[in-house]
Structure 1
Amino acid sequence: MKQGYIYILFNKPNGTLYIGVTSDLAQRIYQHKHKHIQGFTQKYGVDKLGYYEMFDTMESAITREKQLKARKRQAKIDLIESINPTWKDLYEDIL
């Protein structure tokens, strides 16, 4: 059984947000930062890690991802600011 992570990326404080799910957080953020993933994050320069959670299973992470995506934008901002009030890129912290 693989553990899972949900993560929220941003391009600037209070800017564009992206919520994703992965089994390897460090590798996935690296891919976003180096534009290896085509699409939304590449187009809008969304590559700073603002928030993440770890789960025992990928199923749990996917369930949480769906919950977060259903929330309003302000709830997502509040979640980031609850642990990261300065909007620091947390990527270096997870390495």
Structure 2
Amino acid sequence: MAYYAYIIKSLVDGRLYKGHTKDIEKRLGEHNSGKTKSTKGYLPWELVYFEKFETKEEAIEREKYFKTGIGREFLKSKLQ
């Protein structure tokens, strides 16, 4: 089974949310239906980047990286 580290962007103010999941489409639907407390105030969201991994642990590590200063710089360069 594959796991993903993903980045979604709010179409309201452009903020980014970083997460991990095993089903990107389902997770994006949860974000856009207001089921996620931390993102429901900034609907709607669009998927802007993801990476695929073989293990959940790898996806979690990559999500953590995205939340660091170096990770944010990496995303900035990828998303321009």
| CA deviation vs aligned residue, 1:8-27 (integer Å, no higher than 9, x gap) | 11113x82110011111111
Bigger fraction of residues in strand: 2
In the alignment, structure 1 segments of 5+ residues that lack a partner are 82-95
- 2:35 aligned residue: 36
C-alpha distance in structure 2 between counterparts of 1:78 and 1:45, whole Å = 24
- 2:69 aligned residue: 71
1:49 paired with 2:36, answer no
* TM-score, L = length of structure 1: 0.70
**Quick check: 1:18–1:46 contact (8 Å CA) kept in 2?**
no
C-alpha distance in structure 2 between counterparts of 1:74 and 1:40, whole Å = 22
C-alpha distance in structure 1 between counterparts of 2:2 and 2:69, whole Å = 23
How many angstroms does 1:7 deviate by?
Answer: 0.7
In the alignment, structure 2 segments of 5+ residues that lack a partner are none
- 1:7 aligned residue: 6
C-alpha distance in structure 2 between counterparts of 1:22 and 1:47, whole Å = 16
Q: How many positions carry a matched residue from both structures?
A: 79
- Aligned-pair RMSD on alpha carbons? 2.2
* TM-score, L = length of structure 2: 0.81
Identity of aligned residues (%): 33
SS at match of 1:76: helix
**Quick check: 1:6–1:19 contact (8 Å CA) kept in 2?**
yes
C-alpha distance in structure 1 between counterparts of 2:16 and 2:74, whole Å = 12
